[in-house]
Structure formats: C-alpha cells, structure tokens
Amino acid sequence: MTTRRTFLKAGIGAAASLAARPALGQSRDLASLSLKQASDLLRRKDISPVELAEACLQRIEKYNPAFNAFITVTRQEALRAAREAEAEIQRGRWRGPLHGVPIALKDNIDTAGIRTTGASQLFENRIPEVDAEVARRLKNAGSVLLGKLNLHEFAYGGSSTTTYFGTMHNPWGPDYVTGGSSGGAGIAVASDFCYAALGTDTAGSVRMPASHCGIVGLKPTYGLVSTRGVLTLSWSLDHVGPMCKTVEDAAIMMNIIAGFDALEPTSVEVAIPDYTQAMKTSTAKLRLGVARRPFFDNLNPEVAAAVDAAMKVLQRITAATVDVELPPVGNAATLWGSEAYAYHKPWITQSPEKYQPGTRAQLQRTANANGAEYAQARRDLDLVRREIRKVFTKADLLVAPTMKAPPALLSAPGGGAAGGNNNVAFDMYGVPSISIPCGFTNSGLPIGLQISGAHFGEINVLALAHAYEQATEWHKKNPKL
C-alpha cells in the first residue's frame, strides 16, 4: 500500500508550480493551494489528506490566537477523517473534488456531535445530534472538517466584534474589522487555515467579510441551498454560501451544497447544473447593468478608483454596459427584526443576560413588533422578488462595489460596524451575488467587487467573476502573517 509520504516530494513540486500564492515553507506551500489545486493533487495521489490537514492545523495553531477565526478546532476528528479519506482514495474510492479536502463551517451551522454555539453564551455547550443539510452533503462528499468558525453573535451584525468568543481581527490589518457576520470564515480562508468555508448571508454576511478579507464569497439564489439545521436569523432572507480562494473553488462547493431539500420549507426544486462549467462559459455576449443610485453614491475615493478600474476590465470582456434602476426593497429591518425575535423569543425572554449587549438590545427592540408592518414587509418582499426580474430583461448581470468603504478600525464608533453596505438589496431580491477581490487601498486593505445575476443565474455570475479573476492578479495576493 502506498504510504502518505511516497509522493510528498513530487507533490510539493507540483504544489509549488500550481500555487498562485507565495511559498513560505512546506506547510504554507500546501496550505496556500486553492481547493481545486489541492483536490487535483489528492486525486493523483501526489499528496495525502493527512498532509493537507496537518498543514492547515499547523497554521491554525500558530496564527489563530492572533485573529480568532475558530471557536472550536476539531483536530482529532479532522485527522481521523483525513486518514479515512486517505484510505478510500488509495483503494480507488474517490468521492469527488472535496474528498480529503480540509474545510471549516461557520458556527451557526449544526454539526452532529460537535458544538454549534452561534458565538453566544446561550449555546456555549450546545451539541446538535443531527448535521445541517449542508454539513451532511459536505461530509458525504468526503471533506475533512477542521472546526467551527467565529461569527457576529447569531449572525446579527456586520462587524464580527460582538461575540462571546472574542473579537475577530482582519489578517490584512489586525486593528481592522473583518466584516460580518461570517468574519471567522473570512479570516480562515484568507489566512490559509482551510481550503474553503461555508458562511451565511442575510444582509451581506458572506459578501462583507469576503470583501474585507480579500477572498471570494458567493450568496446563491434564495432557496437554492438548504438552510435546514442553520441557526435562524430571518427565514425570509437567510442564505448559505461558499467562501473560497477562487471562483472555481466556489463553483466546486456549489456542486455539493446546492439542491432541493424536501424537509426545508424554503428550499426550491430546480435543475442543478455543473457550476464548474461556468469556467468555460463565454462572457462576450453578457450585458452589464450598473445601478448608479444608490450603489455608487458616496463611495470612498479608493474604492471608487478600484471599481472604476475593474469596470474597464469588465467592459473589455463583455458586450455592453447599460445604466439600470433597481426596485426599492422596502423595510428590510422590519422583516429580519421580527423574524429574529420570533426565533429567539423562548430564550431572550428567559435568559437575556446570556446574549451580548448589542444583540440583546436589537432583539428587545423588536419585542413588540407591529404585526401589520411585518405583514406589509413580507408582502413587499414577494413583490420585489418578482419586480427584479424586469431588470434582467435589460441586463444579464449587475455590477457594484461590494462595500462603499474599506474595513473600518475596530476602535471606530460602533465597534467598526459595516458602513456603506451594498449587499442587503440582493438578499431581498433573492438573486445570486458574488464578491471578488478587485484591489487594495494604499494601506493594503482589500476592496471587493460585487456581481449579481437573475434568479438561478449562478452560471453567468460565476462565469464573469472567473473571467475577471483570470484577467487580473488581485486573487493571488495573501496577507503576510
């Protein structure tokens, strides 16, 4: 039987030739691979899942204390899963591109036998008995779970500073916010702690940290990826999506997690394509829609310059650019506030002291939510999800800055809460939306570009994001830890 060291020398050589990021020693060579690169080496048996897991765990042990990405590191479980994957691959039982690949999950996604806390004291010792549907799919695909990632408590905020398990720090500058609520996932992927992560997005919580941490974050179409087994913020707006190093990696993750779940009321039954085909899809005939107001209003000058440069690249690889007007989205805060309170009512009324002050205040403000206002907000949501379809008769994709400003200082008023969030509308529309790196500020902080498409139009979104990625170098940069 082939040992896990047999192909190490060849594997490191292949990794060095494939890796887009700088080589900083053997463990970094392996940890810095993209998911696709790692998967290809595993399938060829040039490296083993155990080597990948050990490389990631070494980086977590060394750097996580400074950045606080993980709440729980499942070291022993990960190494056991990696050994099992190695044995299967050696026997020729390759399950697919995630087999043996180390990943991590936001800690509001249930994992059987592993605590899922929502970053709250309330659930500090909560251990689910059943995996969330997305966790089940990733496990069945043979992925290796490294642990559970820190977040803004119960995903109810955009700074990732409000958490029972300690503030998260941006790997591009530890004095800056990561964005939220999937801040731990943003850190983990940017810092090469794992090859991919899952986050959740209700008002931008995948795309904000993707933008602020310089990675790729995809919010799929509402209902395309099951939210069963994910701690609820808002039933009407919650999405689960991949956070990765490259667009192709996000497509690979989507191939695993997308699909109908008969036990989840919000799940939609549609045909699921091979999302990696987007890497081969031409963008030459795509029309880009630009909604100047409000998405380009009051931009930070460095963000404006980066997005303007990105637009010039996009115009070279697409057919046309047209100005569009998007429908107003109504009262999003009433929607998510009312639904969040409904979910948390059993606990916020009995154990309010177990919530962080900021989360507690937000929930208590909606304790007496107006039923008529909520009903109207829910009705408006249904209407706007129909109305947005008209925009896609004029344009195939929409482009905007992900955030209007770079990451704020943790010391800023409000704990560096996200300002200039361009993401909420796309949760309301329910359309797919991706953030990809498009530049850096003069002080070295990442800037994100957002590309959105029609309902179930992930292929076009991924195709343009990938084409832009291939035409630029931004995704190749990594923080110097």
Closest listed residue to residue 136, CA positions, set 52, 226, 224 = 226
Work out the widest C-alpha separation in the chain, in whole angstroms: 67
Both ends of the chain: CA-CA distance in Å?
38
Tell me which long-range contacts 293-298 makes (C-beta under 8 A, separation of at least 24).
293/325, 295/400, 295/401, 295/422, 296/400, 296/401, 297/404, 298/404, 298/420
Residue 106, beta-bridge partner list:
149
Closest listed residue to residue 404, CA positions, set 468, 449, 440 = 449
Marked catalytic residue, from 36, 45, 106, 404? 106
Closest listed residue to residue 245, CA positions, set 38, 469, 35, 80 = 35
Q: How far apart are CA 297 and CA 304, in angstroms?
A: 10
Q: How far apart are CA 377 and CA 214, in angstroms?
A: 34
Q: How far apart are CA 49 and CA 97, in angstroms?
A: 12
Q: How far apart are CA 278 and CA 462, in angstroms?
A: 6
Q: How far apart are CA 12 and CA 17, in angstroms?
A: 9
Marked catalytic residue, from 32, 39, 181, 236? 181
Residue 181 designated active-site: yes
Q: How many CB atoms lie within 10 A of CB 378?
A: 16
Marked catalytic residue, from 182, 205, 267, 338? 205
Element (H, E) at 29: helix 26-31
* CB-CB contact of 448 with 465 (8 Å): no
* CB-CB contact of 145 with 104 (8 Å): yes
Q: How many CB atoms lie within 10 A of CB 351?
A: 11
Two tokens, residue 22: 């700088």
Q: How far apart are CA 420 and CA 98, in angstroms?
A: 35
Active site residues: 106, 181, 205
